[in-house]
Structures are given as C-alpha cells and as structure tokens.
Amino acid sequence: MPVAINFKICDNAEECNGIEVCPTGALSWDDKKKTIVIDNTKCTSCGACERSCMVQAIKVGRTKEEFAKIQKEIEEDSRKVSDLYLDRYGAMPILPAFLIEEDKFEREVLKASKLTAVEVFANEGIMCLLKSIPITELFDGLDIKFRKMEIKNKKFLDDYDIKELPALLFFLEGKLAGKVEGYFENENKQALKEKVKVIIG
C-alpha cells in the first residue's frame, strides 16, 4: 500500500529525510517542479520514510482502509507549515535570530534590560519537533526576550547548577530568576506552563 505526504505540514525540501532513507527510490526530488515526488509503484511499505520524518508528515498505509484514513486525516488537517515551524522547547532551533553562541550569553542575556528566557540544550538531545511545545505558548503573551543556546561547555552547567537538558533559564537584571529542567512533551504542556508561571508570575 502507498505512502502519502501531508504537504500542509511538510516543508517540501530537497533534503527530506524520507528521500534519503527510501531504499527503492519511491520518494525523490523533482528539481524542475521543486517538489518531493512519490512513485507508489516502487513503495514496499517498509516504513523507513515514516520513521525518519521529524514532523510526522509522511505516512504509510499498509491496507486500503489505512491509506483512506490517512488521506482523510490529511484532508482535514487544519495546520500549516508555519504553525509547526516555531521554536519549541527541546526541539531543534528554527529561527536563527533566536540562536546564540555561548560567547554571546553575557551581552544577549545577562545584560538584557528585560526578562530574558534562554533555553539551553545539547544538540544530541534534540527531541521531536511535533511533540514539543511552542515556546511562545509558555509566556502567555508576556513580552519576554527568548534565546536558544547549545551548550558545549560543562562549566555553564556547573555555574547554573543544571542537572538536566534541555533547561529553560530566566534572567532579570543579570541574575537567574528561576529555571525549569528536563523535557516536556506537548501532552504535559500544562505542567510546564505552571512551572514557568511560578517563575514569571
């Protein structure tokens, strides 16, 4: 049975993981049309593409009924790529403007004039984009500066007594105002929101 791509949430890029892992060439890139192309006559339903897609945009139907269900779900999906490609706690950085190197921490965070949240993460600990919580949802519309910083230096973890990554640290006037440690999936959003609320008031 065939494979389907939910183009509502797929960024339709040549670097698609599904194309890379497909052993049969059922998924390929059409350079003229600038789109991922599916050739279902080559698909063996192995599921490699489905497992490789960070946003779960690729689905494999192993029976007619399953494939019909997938198509219906795609049709009814109200999300857009822009809904998904937000910076999310614990997931890969999306907007380069938020990303800072450790040597920018002092200027961008400690010297910031307003409450600043910095998510510190380790690249090898990046979690699923789809299951992660959009960072903007945590701040309840408050005007909080946000930065994301990959930690390469253990000293930073020691300085702020961080035991688990990712961690979300809040700074005001150069001082740590509070922190949350560990990963929270979307289904535990409320627990994370409450922890953040205690810090930001």
If the CB atoms of residues 5 and 149 are measured against ligand SF4, the closer one turns out to be 5
Q: What angle do CA 61, 44, 10 make, to 5 degrees?
A: 55
Tokens of 102: 């450790």
- State the nearest-atom distance from the C-beta of 23 to ligand SF4, in Å: 6
User: Per CB under 6 A, does 36 bind ligand SF4?
Assistant: no
Among 17, 28, 35, 45, binds ligand SF4 (CB under 6 A): 45
Tokens of 155: 């000293």
State the Cα–Cα distance between residues 62 and 124, nearest whole angstrom: 32
- State the nearest-atom distance from the C-beta of 166 to ligand SF4, in Å: 30
State the Cα–Cα distance between residues 133 and 117, nearest whole angstrom: 15
Could you tell me which residues come within 8 angstroms of residue 155 by beta carbon, excluding any fewer than 6 positions away? none
Peptide bond into 166 cis (omega under 30): yes
The type of residue at 149 is: M
Judged by CB under 6 A, the chain residues 93 through 152 that form the site for ligand SF4 are: none
- State the nearest-atom distance from the C-beta of 60 to ligand SF4, in Å: 5
If the CB atoms of residues 36 and 133 are measured against ligand SF4, the closer one turns out to be 36
User: Per CB under 6 A, does 169 bind ligand SF4?
Assistant: no
User: Per CB under 6 A, does 70 bind ligand SF4?
Assistant: no
Q: Which residues bind ligand SF4 (CB under 6 A)?
A: 3, 21-22, 24, 26-27, 43-49, 60
